[in-house]
């Protein structure tokens, strides 16, 4: 699979003056930074149709994981093992997100085949891969929910307005070419006063600055947007959300941004 040879404008502000970040290029994939708004993005992403089958996430994820394990040196292996160890003392995901989001209908965008939510959550999902969405649908229906197959930014607009109690975008938004539309769709389908949770790689982390082209947040061609806390906040605000980092204290150290996007209770009529 070759990368498309046409370069898109900045997805955040649509202007075409983009600095090519040559040190982050891999094969024919090119990353650029907008000269107007500093947004960092993959300049030549593949279109949705390819993602449905050929480039579906499960295939590239497995290949990247194996490659990364092979290239992990002793210090990185130690850090990795420490992270795995400390995870045991944290809340499990269900408890953690129940505290943050509250119970009810949760829409997991880019859910894959894994259903992480049980009662008092009612799990719904959107998944582009036909194979994975069929598997998730079966499991979600057994729990009272449903998985919708399709491209996130399009499929979400077919769902009812003011309907869901929460939206989950865990390791999703960085894959979404049309992330502004997707966020607008999330805002539309959430009930007033409810929240979306976003977790994306943190392009402004200290590890990214030190690791250069070896930073684990770089994934070609899966990751198409490289958010910083500022650019994620701008995108959330543009869609109508209030924005709150949940890992604010350690954000500069953290390879991920974790944030709540809150739909205000009072909507203009």
Residue in this structure with the two tokens 């938004």, named with its chain if needed: 173
Q: How far is the CB of 34 from Zn ion (least distance, A)?
A: 3
CB nearer to Zn ion: pick between 109 and 234:
234
Q: How far is the CB of 231 from Zn ion (least distance, A)?
A: 9
CB nearer to Zn ion: pick between 14 and 27:
14
Q: How far is the CB of 31 from Zn ion (least distance, A)?
A: 14
Listing DSSP states for 116-139 in one string gives: ---TTEEEEEEES-HHHHHHHHHH
Q: How far is the CB of 61 from Zn ion (least distance, A)?
A: 28
CB nearer to Zn ion: pick between 19 and 28:
19
CB nearer to Zn ion: pick between 39 and 203:
39
Q: How far is the CB of 17 from Zn ion (least distance, A)?
A: 9
Q: Which residues bind Zn ion (CB under 5 A)?
A: 10, 12-13, 34, 36-37, 39
Distance CA 200, CA 106 (A): 19
Distance CA 168, CA 85 (A): 25
Q: How far is the CB of 13 from Zn ion (least distance, A)?
A: 3
CB nearer to Zn ion: pick between 39 and 164:
39
Q: How far is the CB of 109 from Zn ion (least distance, A)?
A: 24
Positive or negative CA dihedral for 198, 204, 207, 212?
Answer: positive
């Amino acid at each position: 699979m070759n990368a498309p040879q046409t370069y898109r404008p900045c997805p955040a502000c649509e202007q075409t003056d983009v600095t090519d970040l040559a040190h982050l290029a891999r094969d024919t994939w090119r990353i650029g930074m907008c000269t107007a708004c500093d947004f960092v993005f993959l300049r030549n992403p593949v279109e949705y149709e390819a993602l449905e089958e050929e480039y579906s996430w499960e295939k590239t994820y497995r290949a990247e994981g194996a490659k990364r394990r092979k290239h992990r040196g002793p210090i990185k292996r130690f850090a990795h093992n420490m992270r795995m160890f400390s995870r045991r003392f944290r809340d499990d995901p269900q408890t953690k997100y129940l505290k943050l989001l509250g119970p009810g209908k949760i829409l997991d965008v880019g859910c894959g085949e894994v259903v992480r939510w049980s009662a008092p959550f009612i799990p719904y999902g959107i998944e582009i891969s036909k194979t994975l969405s069929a598997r998730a649908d079966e499991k979600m229906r057994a729990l009272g929910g449903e998985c919708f197959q399709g491209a996130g930014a399009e499929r979400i607009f077919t769902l009812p307005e003011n309907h869901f109690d929460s939206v989950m975008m865990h390791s999703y938004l960085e894959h979404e070419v049309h992330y502004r539309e997707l966020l607008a769709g999330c805002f539309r389908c959430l009930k007033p006063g409810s929240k979306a949770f976003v977790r994306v790689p943190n392009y402004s982390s200290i590890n990214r600055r030190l690791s250069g082209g070896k930073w684990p947040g770089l994934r070609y061609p899966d990751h198409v947007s490289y958010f910083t806390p500022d650019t994620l906040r701008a995108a959330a605000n543009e869609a109508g959300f209030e924005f709150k980092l949940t890992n604010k204290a350690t954000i500069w150290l953290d390879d991920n941004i974790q944030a709540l996007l809150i739909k205000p209770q009072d909507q203009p009529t």
